[in-house]
Structure 1
Amino acid sequence: MSKMVHEFNDIIRKLRKDLFGKGPEKIHTVFVENMAVSTLYGNLTPTEQFISRTEDGKEMVHSARTKMIQDVYAEGTPEGMEELVGATLLHLFSDIKVEENMAISVFVFDKNIIDS
């Protein structure tokens, strides 16, 4: 794994740990042109896992997780992310599959990312 990918994953992990009290156990990120595509595994806290045992609970966890991430990135890009990739974050698309405890985030930047 390149140093840039490792540092990018650390930024994501720290933000989510600070926000939810638990960061993902594993993150796999690839840079494709002007995007960073991150797959995150092992996201849910024990409380969220308990809540998501029912359909209503799954929906509540999905909605809360998705909305919170979107709101955080709307307020500002995490410290160091844009400097690391040398581009400005334009959009974040994010979703979580509660049953699989897996999330995906697609970060769209204003120019191609060069992973050196």
Structure 2
Amino acid sequence: MSKVVHEFNDIIRKLRKDLFGKGPEKIHTVFVENMAVSTLYGNLTPTEQFISRSVEGKDMVHAARTRMIQDVYAESTPDGMEELIGAKLIHLFTDIKVEENMAISVFVFDKNITE
């Protein structure tokens, strides 16, 4: 199972690196029933960190990060994710806490992925 978690994290890291120019420095993922819950640390680029010094900038970085991830996954599931997990991704819930440079993503699949 740890190999699957590692490969799952690599898919997430690559997508975010391609999308934002920087992937998370650390990802911790657990599989629970039909969900993969990923905590991502060290997400923000230096520019985003600078912008987020103000309240308006923090709100802008939060909205952009959250909306872009949701839009990308709504358009298509990342290459190899469903094949790796053996289930279809049906929902993604994601949020980022800008001031702590930490994000959470909950991937909901169409069947139990822990078996």
Q: Does the TM-score normalized on the shorter chain lie above 0.5?
A: yes
Write out aligned runs for 1:39-50 (5 A): 39-50=39-50
1:77 deviates by 0.2
For 1:36 and 1:2, locate their aligned partners in 2 and report how far apart those are by CA, in whole Å: 13
Q: What 5-or-longer segments of structure 2 have no aligned partner? A: none
Write out aligned runs for 1:6-85 (5 A): 6-85=6-85
| Superposition TM-score, scaled by structure 2 size | 0.98
Structure 1 counterpart of 2:113: 113
1:108 deviates by 0.1
1:114 deviates by 3.0
- 8 Å CA contact 2:62–2:96 kept in 1: the answer is yes
Structure 1's consecutive aligned runs of 4 or more residues displaced over 2 angstroms after TM superposition are none
**What residue identity is the alignment partner of 2:99?**
E
Secondary structure of the corresponding residue to residue 107 of structure 2? strand
1:96 deviates by 0.1
Secondary structure of the corresponding residue to residue 43 of structure 2? coil
Structure 1 counterpart of 2:98: 98
Q: How many equivalent residue pairs?
A: 115
**What residue identity is the alignment partner of 1:66?**
T
For 1:106 and 1:56, locate their aligned partners in 2 and report how far apart those are by CA, in whole Å: 27
For 2:96 and 2:112, locate their aligned partners in 1 and report how far apart those are by CA, in whole Å: 26
Question: RMSD across aligned C-alpha pairs, in angstroms?
Answer: 0.9
For 1:87 and 1:112, locate their aligned partners in 2 and report how far apart those are by CA, in whole Å: 8
State the percentage of identical aligned residues: 87
Give CA deviations for 1:66-104 in whole Å, capped at 9, x if unaligned: 000000000000000000000000000000000000000
Structure 2 counterpart of 1:5: 5
Give CA deviations for 1:2-27 in whole Å, capped at 9, x if unaligned: 00000000000000000000000000
